[in-house]
Every structure is written in C-alpha cells, then in structure tokens.
C-alpha cells in the first residue's frame, strides 16, 4: 500500500463515506460535506484543472481563509498531478508575490477576503499565472476581470466554472485521473510550505506524501484518537502546518469533523466569530497557539473580576488549589497537598470553572498547543480550569509533529513525548550526544523529515545532515523521556563572555505577570547588561494613570518598571532566571510589534531580526549613556507623547 495523501482520502471516502468531514457556515447555517463528497468533488475539480492546462508537477498557490473549498482545491491539485503551495492570508502583498514567483506557481486560488492583496501585485507576476476565484460572486469577478484586463476562461476562472468544466470532461478525464493517482508515490512532493521568516528570508519547505502519512499516523497514535468521535473548530489557518497535518489530514483515518471559523466578510470577522462558533460547534478539542491562549487567559480573569464578590474569591481560591492539586501532571503531588486542595478546587470547579469552560463549548476535553513555547503558567491555568492545553513541539520541516503531551502522558513545562516514528537527539556544539538533562541542539531523524528546501540546496545542506534535521532549537530530554524546549538557537541572549540563554521564558514571565505590558523582546548581544523593548496596553495604562493619580512621565515610568518586575513576586517564577538575563532597563515603544511594521509574522510570532531592524535606534538607546536609567530621555519622550504627561 502506497502511503500517500490521496490514498488516505480514498480510504476515508470508502470507510467513512457518509460521515461529515468539512463544515462551513453559510447564510442558511452550517453546511457539511461528507468524506465521499469531498473526494468526488476534488476529482471533478481536478478534471476541470486539467482541462484548463494545469497538472504534471505544476504548482498551485492557495491564498484563502480556511473553508471547505480550500481543502477541495488542495486535493484537486494532487489529483491533477500538481503541488500545493499554501499561503497565509496575513502575508503582505510583496510577500505573496515572492512566494508565488519563487514557487513558479501556474495557478493562484484566492477569495474575496484576499483579492485586494493579491491584485495589488498582479502586475508583478508572470502573465502566465492563472487565477481561480473561490467565491460565488459574479459581480466581483466581472469587476476584477475588467479592472485588471483578465480574460475569463483564459486567465481568470471561477470555482463554479472549473467545477462545471470538470463535470463535463470527467468521463474522458477519469482514466487520466486514475493513472495520475496510480503513479503517485511516497516521495512525490505534496506541498511547498514557506517558512514565516522568523530568523531570515522565507524558504520553501517540500513535504512529501511519506512525510504527511507518517506524521498523521504518529499524531493519531500519540493521542489514541478514536474513530468518528472527535470534532474541532479549526481556528488556525489551513496553511499553518500544525492545522494542515493534525487537522485536515489527521481527520482522514479517524473521521474527525472539521468546522471552519466563519470568516465571511473579512479575516477580522473570523476573530469576532470565534466565541459564537465555539458555542455553536461544541468542539471536543482545539488546536491553538500561545498568542490565542494568552489572550483568553487575560480575558477570563478580567471577566471574573468584573463580577467581583464570591465568584472572584472562588475563582482565585480554586485556581491556586487546582494548580497545587494537579502538580506537574505527571507525578501526583503528595497526598496531604492533594487532600487540602481537593475541596476548595472541586467547589470552584462546580460553581465557577464549569461556567468558564462553556466559553469553549459544551464538549471541550482538551487543547493542543503548537507554535512558540507555551509558558508553564498558561499550562497550569488551563489545567486548573479543566481545559488542559497539551503542549507540543514541531517544525514545518518535520511535517510538523516532533513531540507532544497528551491526555495519557503529560508533564507541565515540557513539550511531551517524542512521536513514535521519530528519533530525537540532543547534540553538543561538537556534534556529540548530550547526557540526559543536558541542554543542546535538538536534532531529529525520521520519515517525517522534509525532502528539502525548494530551489535552495545550500539551506537544505545546512539543515539536513546525513538524514538528520538540525532544528536550530535548544532543549533537553529528562529522565522520564519528556522533551523540554528552551528556545531558538538564533534568538539567544549572549553575554560578553559568550554564555548563552534563551529569552523566551523571561518574556513569557513578564507578559503573564503584568496587565500593563503587552509585548516584550528581551535583548543582549555581548553587552554588559540585558535590556528589553516593550509595548504597553494603552487602555490599561490610561486606567492605571487615572487610578493612581499619576501626574508626570517619570512617575509613570516608575510604575512601568514595577510592572516589568512583577514576575519576581510570583512563586511560579521565583529564582527561576539568572540575574544577568533579567532586563536591567527597558525602552517603551510608541508603536506595537505588528504585521504592519513587519515585526510580527503570519503565525503571530514576533520576528526578532525584524524588531532589531525596525527599532534599531531604540536598541541603541538601551545602551546609551543614560540607557540603564529607566527614566532615560527616550522613554520620557515616548510616554509624554503617548499619554500627555508632564
């Protein structure tokens, strides 16, 4: 049996034929497509693509919000012998242009929500690139054709048109489609997924059928997923490798139902619709990233505090008791601690936490966290309220799952157990293996490791050595076999003597301990002391200025300093960080890190090298003559400008 994506889809269409697979919300409510319908529609669309001249290893870029048509377009690409290039809707026009051009895409699939970004750079793309519009909106399609001089049926197509053409040509195309599928092998590339560029220019990651097949079955085995019992609301975008593998593809062997967040109208509409969609769909599990769970973690206590009274007291008491009761999740805390914690925890759970969980729908069992490191405090918080987040670790280059905590084996602070088919090695700088508990570079070997970077042999050679993927991340394995990831090699703090330290846990501690500080980048590049660039929650800042009757900029900067160091009073962070890596000073920035200034990428991660470029002067201010004094001139100018203080 060939281990291919199309093989997984074919078996799902046969075994789970009439079970719902994909759900999207329309004017009349939630509309489902079964596994058999998705299989049949994708083959039909593939016949239409072949008729339009697509196939034979060509690339097709998909630039759209998550929806049923996104998935059908990708499967149709594979059925017609092509390669999918998933693109983030958060990319800027020039980033979209780069990826379409670099991948040499013959087709670009786009939606109403993404049309403006794509069309802004259309004149920069080769005139051979054809466009496929997903929405059923003839008026918009006609306008686009006229404004950009695109000939319908030649360079501009609608989803409905290609599907109709596919239906007409399917009798003749069936044998060709069957032959393409028969000739599809495990080493064939399925997707070219571009890196987000956190540490440099984006690279096209080539993932094969074998990569996806093995990683899907690893994920299913890790979580012991039952057949036809799970459903999820896919909050992450379809281009996100975590959602792609653990959502869209892992659904195939286990008949998982996938609901897409309602994004009709705009991508901002999707964010607003998440709470309502959670209640409507009642997911069993969710795939999340730390930025999303951090937002919920701030909003939930704020909502409880607004109610005040007994609810607030029960919540705080229950949270403390729940954290003590669960311990690290792997080894049970001592009996007396559990006994003392049990009654207040269960009381809070019955009266308060039960209602909090309703935010996530009536059926939620757990979340799985991917992306950046998930702070220990977040893990403790969600475990206590009864919606545990099982932190995982992976890279798109690994298809992406390398390890994960699960309901069956989890330890707070770790990234879980290594996936069944993956060899994980922790390497010293000289390439030798680290001892258990010793930190080094994480390297993996397995059938989930990418084929390489598209048109970039040099980068491939730097990343894959003798079949081993060098992740560029630092971590260690403990005595119980749990993997702990401590940060990016390229994002490390470096002391004058060359000693290194990861900034990410310190940043998480700052953000989780203060409502005032919204973003933080801790920095040290061979400097005598560590500094931080921070942004403030302006609404909270204005409220604090009023509450505390702050009259001057220096007085306000004292308050910011106190907020920056609040984590020192939190038992979760007490004596956790060596003093040389705790920021001695900070610079308050006038604008936040965002996609608009290129300092946040499409997966909501802060891009450090971009921060250092965009705010180069403020980095220099950290180490100016008065830089170590938090009341330095640069900070005074900023807070006077932001808050009209004297």
pLDDT > 90? residue 48: yes
Q: Is 529 helix (H, G, I), strand (E, B) or coil?
A: coil
Return the ∠ at Cα 525 (arms to 444 and 642), rounded to 5°.
Answer: 110
Structure tokens belonging to residue 186: 């495990």
Window from 32-41, 55-64, 473-482, 485-494 with minimum mean pLDDT: 485-494
**Residue 143 counted as domain residue:** yes
Domain membership flag for residue 199:
yes
For the chain, the average pLDDT equals: 93
* Residue range(s) defining the domain that contains residue 195: 5-212
One DSSP character per residue, 609-646 reads: HHHHHHTHHHHHHHTSTTTTSTT-HHHHHHHHHHH---
Q: Does residue 296 lie within any of the structural domains?
A: no
Distances (CA, A) of 645 to 276, 343, 552, 638, 640: 40, 49, 5, 10, 5
What pLDDT was estimated at residue 90? 85
pLDDT at residue 200 greater than cutoff 70? no
Angle, CA 386 vertex, CA 475 and CA 603 arms, to 5°:
50
Q: Residue 444's pLDDT is what? A: 98
Query: 155, 183, 212 — which closes off a domain?
Result: 212
Question: What's the confidence (pLDDT) of residue 448?
Answer: 98
Res 297: pLDDT: 86
Phi, psi of 222 (to 5 degrees): -55, -45
Task: Please state, in angstroms and rounded to a whole number, the distance separating the CA atoms of residues 511 and 212.
Answer: 35
Residue 591 lies in a domain: yes
- Residue 307 placed within a domain: no
pLDDT at 409 over 90: yes
| pLDDT recorded at residue 490 | 67
Nearest Cα neighbor of 365 from 249, 282, 257, 275 is 282
Q: Which of 212, 238, 253 is the last residue of a domain?
A: 212
Mean pLDDT for 117-128 is 96
Q: What is the 3-state secondary structure (H, E, C) of 245-287?
A: HHHHHCHHHHCCEEEECCCCCCHHHHHHHHHHHHHHHCCCEEE
The CA-to-CA distance between both ends of the chain, in Å, stands at 74
pLDDT digits (tens, 9 = 90+) for 256-296: 999 999 999 887 888 899 999 999 999 999 998 777 788 88
Exposed (0-12), middle (13-18) or buried (19+): which is 410, by Cβ within 10 Å?
buried
pLDDT in tens, 612-627: 889 999 999 999 999 9
- Tell whether the model's pLDDT for residue 35 goes beyond 70: yes
Tokens 């973690």: give the residue: 297
Q: Which tens digits make up the pLDDT trace of 523-578?
A: 998 888 999 999 999 999 999 999 999 999 999 999 999 999 999 998 888 778 88
Rounded mean pLDDT, 422-447: 95
Is a pLDDT exceeding 90 seen at residue 375? no
Quick one: pLDDT at residue 489? 66
Sequence-distant (6+) residues with CB within 8 A of 306 are none
Which of 198, 204, 125 is closest to 598 using CA atoms? 198
d(CA 237, CA 219): 19
Model-level pTM?
0.85
- What percent of the chain shows pLDDT beyond 90? 81
Kindly indicate the confidence band of residue 371, based on its pLDDT and cuts at 50, 70 and 90: low
Answer yes or no: is 196 within a domain: yes
Give 445-485 pLDDT, tens digit per residue: 999 999 999 999 999 999 999 899 999 898 999 999 999 99
Is 373 within the bounds of a domain? no
Query: What CATH code is carried by the domain that includes residue 202?
Result: 3.40.50.12780
Cα separation of 116 and 93, whole Å? 9
- 212, 238, 270 - which closes a domain: 212
Residue 599, domain CATH: 3.30.300.30
When mean pLDDT is compared across 21-30, 87-96, 403-412, the lowest value belongs to 87-96
Q: Is residue 41 part of a domain?
A: yes
Region 57-68 average pLDDT: 97
Phi, psi of 67, deg, nearest 5? -170, 170
Measured torsion, CA atoms of residues 621, 552, 516, 503, in degrees rounded to the nearest 10: 20
| 142 half-sphere exposure, CB direction, 13 A CA radius | 3
Domain count, the chain: 2
Q: Give pLDDT, residue 372.
A: 60
């Amino acid at each position: 049996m060939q281990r291919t994506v199309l093989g997984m889809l074919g078996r799902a269409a046969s075994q789970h034929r009439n079970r719902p697979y994909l759900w999207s919300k329309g004017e009349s409510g939630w509309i489902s497509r079964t596994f058999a319908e998705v299989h049949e529609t994708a083959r039909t669309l593939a016949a239409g693509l072949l008729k339009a001249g697509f196939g034979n290893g060509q690339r097709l870029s998909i630039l759209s919000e998550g929806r049923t048509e996104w998935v059908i377009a990708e499967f149709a690409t594979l059925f017609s012998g092509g390669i999918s290039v998933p693109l983030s809707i958060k990319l800027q026009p020039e980033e979209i242009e780069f990826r379409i051009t670099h991948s040499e895409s013959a087709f670009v699939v786009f939606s109403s929500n993404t049309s403006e970004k794509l069309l802004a750079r259309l004149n920069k793309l080769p005139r051979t690139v054809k466009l496929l519009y997903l929405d059923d909106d003839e008026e918009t399609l006609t306008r686009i054709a006229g404004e950009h001089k695109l000939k319908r049926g030649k360079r501009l197509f609608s989803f409905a048109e290609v599907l109709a053409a596919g239906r007409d040509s399917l009798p003749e195309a069936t044998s060709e489609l069957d032959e393409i599928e028969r000739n599809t092998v495990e080493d064939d590339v399925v997707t070219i997924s571009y890196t987000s560029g956190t540490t440099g220019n984006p690279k096209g990651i080539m993932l094969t059928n074998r990569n996806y097949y093995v990683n899907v079955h690893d994920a299913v085995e890790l979580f012991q997923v039952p057949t036809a019992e799970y459903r999820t609301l896919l909050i992450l975008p379809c281009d996100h490798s975590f959602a792609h593998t653990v959502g869209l593809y892992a659904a195939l062997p286990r008949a998982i139902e996938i609901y897409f967040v309602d994004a009709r109208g705009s991508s901002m509409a999707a964010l607003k619709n998440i709470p309502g969609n959670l209640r409507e769909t009642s997911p069993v599990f969710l795939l999340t990233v730390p930025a999303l769970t951090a937002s919920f973690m701030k909003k939930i206590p704020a909502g409880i505090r607004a109610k005040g009274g007994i609810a607030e007291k029960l919540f705080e008491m229950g949270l403390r008791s729940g954290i003590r009761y669960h311990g690290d999740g792997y080894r049970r805390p001592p009996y007396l601690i559990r006994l003392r914690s049990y009654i207040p925890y269960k009381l809070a759970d019955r009266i308060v936490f039960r209602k909090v969980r309703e935010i996530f729908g009536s059926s939620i069992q757990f979340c799985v966290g991917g992306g950046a490191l998930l702070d220990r405090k977040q893990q403790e918080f969600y475990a206590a309220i009864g919606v545990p987040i099982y932190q995982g670790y992976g890279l798109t280059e690994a298809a992406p799952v390398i390890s994960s905590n699960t309901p069956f084996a989890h330890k707070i602070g770790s990234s879980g157990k290594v996936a069944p088919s993956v060899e994980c090695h922790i390497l010293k700088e000289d390439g030798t293996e680290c001892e258990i508990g010793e930190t080094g570079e994480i390297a993996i070997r397995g059938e989930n490791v990418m084929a390489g970077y598209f048109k970039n042999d040099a980068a491939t050679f730097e990343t894959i050595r003798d079949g081993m993927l060098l992740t560029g991340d630092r971590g260690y394995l403990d005595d119980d076999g749990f993997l702990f990831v401590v940060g990016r090699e390229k994002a490390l703090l470096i002391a004058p003597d060359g000693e290194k330290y990861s900034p990410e846990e310190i940043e998480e501690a700052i953000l989780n301990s203060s409502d005032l500080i919204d973003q933080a980048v801790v920095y040290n590049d061979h400097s005598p002391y560590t500094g931080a660039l921070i942004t403030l929650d302006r609404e909270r800042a204005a409220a604090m200025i009023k509450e505390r009757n702050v009259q001057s900029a220096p007085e306000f900067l004292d308050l910011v300093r106190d907020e920056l160091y609040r984590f020192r009073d939190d038992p979760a962070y007490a004596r956790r960080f060596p003093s040389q890596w705790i920021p001695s000073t900070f610079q308050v920035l006038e604008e936040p890190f965002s996609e608009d200034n290129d300092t946040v990428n499409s997966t909501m991660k802060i891009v450090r090298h971009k921060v250092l470029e965009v705010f180069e002067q403020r980095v220099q201010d950290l180490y100016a003559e008065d830089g170590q004094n938090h009341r330095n001139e640069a900070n005074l100018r900023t807070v006077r400008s932001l808050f009209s203080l004297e």
